[in-house]
Amino acid sequence: MNILYKSPQHRIIKMQNSYELQNEATNLTFFENKVTQQKNKIVLDFNYMLKANLPINKGMTIKIKHNGVFQCVACQKTVKKLFSGFCFPCLKKKASADNCIMSPHLCHYMNGTCREPEWGENYCYKPHYVYLSYTDKFKIGITRESQIPTRWIDQGATSAKILAKVTSRHQAGVVENTMKEILADKSHWMKMLKSANTRPSNEEFNFMFDKAKNWLINLAEFKNGSLIVSTPEHIVLAKEIEFFPDSPIVEINYDSPTDIASIKSLSLDKTPEIEGKITGIKGQYLFFSNHVFNMRKHEGYITEVEVLNN
């Protein structure tokens, strides 16, 4: 066994471009896109990068070891316990740890109760997109402009298409929440993993897309404008929901195994040392045979990473 790569101190963190095992001293690209543009559709193949020029590939043997130390993703303090990546004080005081991040329709900035109004203005009062994607089923979702296509890769979507552009996270959340009546807003992780690169045909996708769009356009709340949220007066923002009639379908291909009968989730809390051959990668998951390791769930864990090769 030769060790191709060994790092004594990596923190699993969430970067602008998805998940990264980051060495404090360097700022590495986590994934590299290969985009092939075809007629009305974009095909995306990607690699996760462990460090520059070292993609995480199917077939690679990797060891991830956690020594019980965590680092808060917000304040970067070393702590003994994390709450969704945050230390306890940050969980309670950071706007990025507030309920409205997971449920943007509950944005309370306009009530004057945003935990960090300045942060909210920079993060939430920025262009957001509402999209239709396919994971294990059709779902509606929202994302910031800068997170396309990261968000889709992260959730394991095989197809996605932008439905509308709005000027705030709150507005995107309200549209998404309204559309829950006809579409799911969450996918089931195990079903998503089992469905590999399954995707609907362009015709099926566009049929669902038109159906969802028509449903929204014909909704009374859309017609009478009550779906439009109020925004801070000192930030000049357009109020409309802008549709994208000709946005392409983005197809994302994963190096994902097919015919997996059962999948078990690995956790560094239960298994502090995980070693195995990567048999596939989909979204935020690395496959080790019938076990999967969720990168996102381990945000903030300090780990030692080794890449081993026969």
- Per CB under 5 A, residues contacting Zn ion are 72, 74-75, 87, 90
Beta carbon of residue 115, minimum distance to Zn ion (angstroms, whole number): 13
Question: 152 near 250, Cβ under 8 Å?
Answer: yes
Q: Which amino acid is at 82?
A: L
The residue written with tokens 């990473």 in the block is 305
Task: Give the residue from 188, 185, 142 showing the smallest Cα distance to 165.
Answer: 142
Nearer to Zn ion, 90 or 252 (CB): 90
Q: Nearer Cβ to Zn ion, position 90 or 172?
A: 90
Residue length of the chain: 310
Closer CB to Zn ion, 156 or 300, in the complex: 300
Contact 302, 13 (CB under 8 A): no
Nearer to Zn ion among residue 72 and residue 241 (C-beta): 72
The least CB distance from residue 82 to Zn ion, in Å, is 9
Of 16, 43, 41, the closest CA to residue 31 belongs to: 16
Supply the minimum distance, in Å, between the C-beta of residue 77 and Zn ion. 5
Least gap, CB of 88 to Zn ion (angstroms)? 8
121: how many CB neighbours lie within 10 A of its CB?
16
Contact of 159 with 192, CB cutoff 8 Å: no
Using alpha carbons, list the distances in angstroms from residue 301 to 41, 228, 272, 278: 37, 40, 11, 20
Q: What CA–CA distance (Å, rounded) separates 88 from 43? A: 41
Non-local CB neighbours of 269 within 8 Å, separated by 6+ positions: none
**Minimal distance, residue 296 CB to Zn ion, in Å:** 18
- Return the structure tokens found at 292: 């999967």
* Least CB distance to Zn ion at residue 244 (A): 38
